[in-house]
A and B are shown apart, each in its own frame.
Chain A
């Protein structure tokens, strides 16, 4: 049916796209070989999503672009044609149907169509089973998606793409919500697909994984093609520099500003089965990193510290005084701030304005004598923090959802800094934040420490904690396994310990 294997499963040349006066893409070319694992890297707004949307027919490129799929010139691509030609996109949110079963989700694209016709999920099951077998996974076909963990949903999305005989699968930020072990399972599946001749294009921020799995990386910056590079010999730092055009310094510096006075002292803290006998101290001006695999109990520890859950045993002392929080409110009043890892749904109220978001934690401090919120006090408070954290915004009355990931994270920081905390707990503060913007966030964190704040930095990314903390604690199965000193040991040693 097909002529001999074409050299490229997808080949794009001279792709440009303008939105009004804004150039989203300028003369970009992009090629993927059959069975290749390719990475499309670049910061937010570099044109990655625009490129994917052009390939899948959602956008039409400016005249002059050449699109070739499996050796065929395509004049005009539509979403339906793209799917028919075997190009499939797995969106970051997966676009699955939570109340439908695994089988119904995987076979969903088969039931599309304008005219009513009879369909039976049973009739799709053999094919669905065959695909799951090919991926080497076992799944209950009748289980609704909402009962599955994210990693399994991801597999369902991949299986759905394969149901349509995909030759090329785009995965948009596939690992952003996966744990380490889930990620490695996904990587195995991608490897398997590649062996079967299905090309996979990753769009990811997580540079370590990108380099580990893909063989080629195409880097975009500001709508221009920076280049296509083999991943062999590429380092994270180099890739980050290509993406941002900035020289990023990754070095460990001693922090002379650590005070002798402790802010937080935890002794033998336990919470049911989640963590046991955790002891840790944070001094004024100190940044303590906490890493380990997901499920090690880090977030659960943070939840106890902020009064969300009560410990089963052990003591927490804050500034030398024993703390017994009954609610998150108590913790905030005692000067603890918690920046949650799920910024999108828990950290910010997306449709509300930047100013309103910053003010939510301190509404009681910006009242007029009548007890109404003072517009003047609010404005000066909001402007102070926007300036302090260099948040790039249009107007403070714009919705938070209009900001980039990095700037949104700064708004979250501003919101908590407004409470004037003594201790700041950051839970994966750079999830979904550009590489270039990450450095900015950590500069803020460092300056907060210099001002005498204690910081507990929780992160999945070993590099992040190594280069940004004064001490790193590794947590495994609910216990603190050891303490790592970035000044004395290398990041590779830390990696070895965490992934052991």
Chain B
């Protein structure tokens, strides 16, 4: 009974899990490469950055906000961090995390301050900062790439290596380890701390949260600061993977991540969303893309499928309520939540 309840409370996550399992099963039959170690590790390597962003964005969505600016914020962090490492005499990994994390938090706090200070909805503010961050970046860098980066930053670090019998190497790189750290930290924040509970509450019913004595400014700062920190760390890891800093490389990635997190059951109105759903959402998008590649389908089909999946996921999760609404309208008329 209790077990069933758990499933009922995580309907979106469970449905996504089932779909994902079916998809993986189908793909493993259709392509012998899909379940190969090499393919699975590269799936993780390629999506580590997205997952770091996704857990950051999850926190913002739970608090009832949205952030469009995180991907370009990550680009800004890359540039400013590269500049800072120059000043700091090259830097190292510890300084790297510290500097990029702090710059990220700073950019996040810019969002939080504007949203809270002017009481303007987050989508408007973050679309504005998205443009401002990107405009400033292009203006000051004149769109130039940086290839001359400290060697610690661009050297490949593997946390797992394996040579299969046919001689091909499969490995997991540092970004995956960092991603796991970010996921666990976010999980602890939202699931096991008083602050996390307050974030859910604030997203769920802001007025009730205010009356309960929750510090609203603090909530905004935590949500966007956390998102900013994740954006900074994601920026740092992105450089480690591609070994260069390109100002417009991350532009446009925000919608892909947003779509994945929403697919994972985070509610755009706030108050709902889980780490599990977030991971499943990102992996669903990733595996869809990967599967289409392996099956040799045109890459243009990908966007179409993701769009369709969001429509199906969002509309079917409303069907139950919809049919109930016709049976018993009074129930919904009474309810003001």
Residues of B within 8 A of A145 (CB): 337
Residues of A within 8 A of B211 (CB): 91, 95
A309 and B195 alpha carbons, distance in the complex (Å): 46
**Binary interface profile of B, 161-199, with partner A (CB < 8 Å = 1, else 0)?**
000000000000000000000000000010011110110
Could you tell me if A118 and B200 are in contact, using CB atoms closer than 8 angstroms? no
Could you tell me if A118 and B213 are in contact, using CB atoms closer than 8 angstroms? no
Residues of B within 8 A of A96 (CB): 205, 208
- Least CB separation from A121: chain B residue: B197
* Interface set of A (CB-CB < 8 Å, partner B): 79-80, 83, 91, 93-101, 104, 108-109, 111-114, 116-120, 140, 142-146, 149-150, 177, 299-300, 303, 308-309, 340-342, 344-346
- Least CB separation from A144: chain B residue: B9
- B304 lies within 8 A of chain A by Cβ: no
Contact residue among A98, A112, A303, A308 (Cβ-Cβ distance under 8 Å from B205): A98
Most B CB within 10 A of own CB, among A104, A116, A120, A308: A116
Could you tell me if B5 and A142 are in contact, using CB atoms closer than 8 angstroms? yes
Could you tell me if A116 and B193 are in contact, using CB atoms closer than 8 angstroms? yes
**B8 CB to closest chain A CB, in angstroms?**
9
- B307 lies within 8 A of chain A by Cβ: no
- Least CB separation from A80: chain B residue: B213
Contact residue among B189, B334, B337 (Cβ-Cβ distance under 8 Å from A342): B334
**A343 CB to closest chain B CB, in angstroms?**
11
A144 and B201 alpha carbons, distance in the complex (Å): 13
A97 and B201 alpha carbons, distance in the complex (Å): 6
Main secondary structure of the interface of A (DSSP, over half): loop
Contact residue among A99, A149, A342 (Cβ-Cβ distance under 8 Å from B271): A99
Could you tell me if A119 and B271 are in contact, using CB atoms closer than 8 angstroms? no
- B335 lies within 8 A of chain A by Cβ: yes
Could you tell me if B197 and A119 are in contact, using CB atoms closer than 8 angstroms? yes
- B218 lies within 8 A of chain A by Cβ: yes
- Least CB separation from B192: chain A residue: A118
- B243 lies within 8 A of chain A by Cβ: no
Residues of B within 8 A of A108 (CB): 197, 201, 212
Main secondary structure of the interface of B (DSSP, over half): helix
- Least CB separation from A109: chain B residue: B212
Known contacts A79-B213, A111-B197, A144-B9; decide if A345 and B192 are in contact (CB<8 Å): no
Could you tell me if A117 and B193 are in contact, using CB atoms closer than 8 angstroms? yes
Most B CB within 10 A of own CB, among A98, A142, A149: A98
Could you tell me if B213 and A116 are in contact, using CB atoms closer than 8 angstroms? no
- Least CB separation from B327: chain A residue: A272
- B329 lies within 8 A of chain A by Cβ: yes
Could you tell me if A112 and B2 are in contact, using CB atoms closer than 8 angstroms? no
- Least CB separation from B200: chain A residue: A100
Known contacts A79-B213, A96-B205, A109-B212; decide if A116 and B195 are in contact (CB<8 Å): yes
**A304 CB to closest chain B CB, in angstroms?**
12
Could you tell me if B198 and A97 are in contact, using CB atoms closer than 8 angstroms? no
Residues of B within 8 A of A112 (CB): 194, 198, 212-214
- Least CB separation from A177: chain B residue: B334
* 17 further interface pairs, Cβ-Cβ under 8 Å (given A116-B195, A342-B333): A93-B336, A94-B208, A97-B201, A97-B271, A100-B201, A111-B194, A111-B198, A112-B212, A116-B194, A119-B192, A119-B197, A142-B2, A142-B5, A146-B337, A309-B326, A309-B329, A340-B333
Residues of A within 8 A of B6 (CB): 142
Q: List 5 A-B contacts (CB under 8 A).
A: A98-B271, A116-B193, A140-B5, A303-B329, A309-B326
- Least CB separation from A56: chain B residue: B211
- B204 lies within 8 A of chain A by Cβ: yes
Residues of B within 8 A of A111 (CB): 194, 197-198
A119 and B134 alpha carbons, distance in the complex (Å): 39
Could you tell me if A95 and B207 are in contact, using CB atoms closer than 8 angstroms? yes
**A163 CB to closest chain B CB, in angstroms?**
12
- B272 lies within 8 A of chain A by Cβ: yes
- Least CB separation from A272: chain B residue: B327
- B330 lies within 8 A of chain A by Cβ: yes
Known contacts A108-B201, A140-B5, A142-B2; decide if A97 and B208 are in contact (CB<8 Å): yes
Residues of B within 8 A of A101 (CB): 9
Residues of A within 8 A of B194 (CB): 111-113, 116-119
Known contacts A114-B218, A308-B329; decide if A99 and B193 are in contact (CB<8 Å): no
**A10 CB to closest chain B CB, in angstroms?**
20
Could you tell me if A99 and B197 are in contact, using CB atoms closer than 8 angstroms? no
- Least CB separation from A299: chain B residue: B330
- Least CB separation from A83: chain B residue: B213
Could you tell me if A300 and B330 are in contact, using CB atoms closer than 8 angstroms? yes
A341 and B193 alpha carbons, distance in the complex (Å): 41
Contact residue among B204, B209, B218, B329 (Cβ-Cβ distance under 8 Å from A98): B204
Could you tell me if A99 and B267 are in contact, using CB atoms closer than 8 angstroms? yes
Known contacts A97-B200, A97-B205, A112-B213; decide if A150 and B335 are in contact (CB<8 Å): yes
Residues of A within 8 A of B205 (CB): 95-98
Residues of B within 8 A of A80 (CB): 213
- B293 lies within 8 A of chain A by Cβ: no
Most B CB within 10 A of own CB, among A99, A150, A345: A99
Residues of A within 8 A of B212 (CB): 95, 108-109, 112
**In B214-249, which residues have CB < 8 Å from any A CB?**
214-215, 218
Could you tell me if A118 and B197 are in contact, using CB atoms closer than 8 angstroms? no
A113 and B195 alpha carbons, distance in the complex (Å): 8
**B69 CB to closest chain A CB, in angstroms?**
25
Could you tell me if B9 and A142 are in contact, using CB atoms closer than 8 angstroms? yes
Residues of A within 8 A of B195 (CB): 116
Residues of B within 8 A of A344 (CB): 336
Closest 7 interchain pairs by CB? A95-B208, A111-B194, A97-B204, A98-B337, A99-B271, A111-B197, A116-B195
A117 and B218 alpha carbons, distance in the complex (Å): 15
A114 and B198 alpha carbons, distance in the complex (Å): 10
Could you tell me if A345 and B336 are in contact, using CB atoms closer than 8 angstroms? yes
**A255 CB to closest chain B CB, in angstroms?**
31
Residues of A within 8 A of B272 (CB): 99
A363 and B46 alpha carbons, distance in the complex (Å): 57
Residues of B within 8 A of A114 (CB): 215, 218
- Least CB separation from B215: chain A residue: A114
A222 and B72 alpha carbons, distance in the complex (Å): 57
**In B1-17, which residues have CB < 8 Å from any A CB?**
2, 5-6, 9
A91 and B205 alpha carbons, distance in the complex (Å): 14
Residues of A within 8 A of B335 (CB): 146, 150
A91 and B204 alpha carbons, distance in the complex (Å): 17
**B160 CB to closest chain A CB, in angstroms?**
31
A340 and B334 alpha carbons, distance in the complex (Å): 11
A104 and B204 alpha carbons, distance in the complex (Å): 13
- Least CB separation from A95: chain B residue: B208
Residues of A within 8 A of B334 (CB): 150, 177, 342
**B179 CB to closest chain A CB, in angstroms?**
22
A109 and B207 alpha carbons, distance in the complex (Å): 15
- Least CB separation from A118: chain B residue: B192
A104 and B336 alpha carbons, distance in the complex (Å): 20
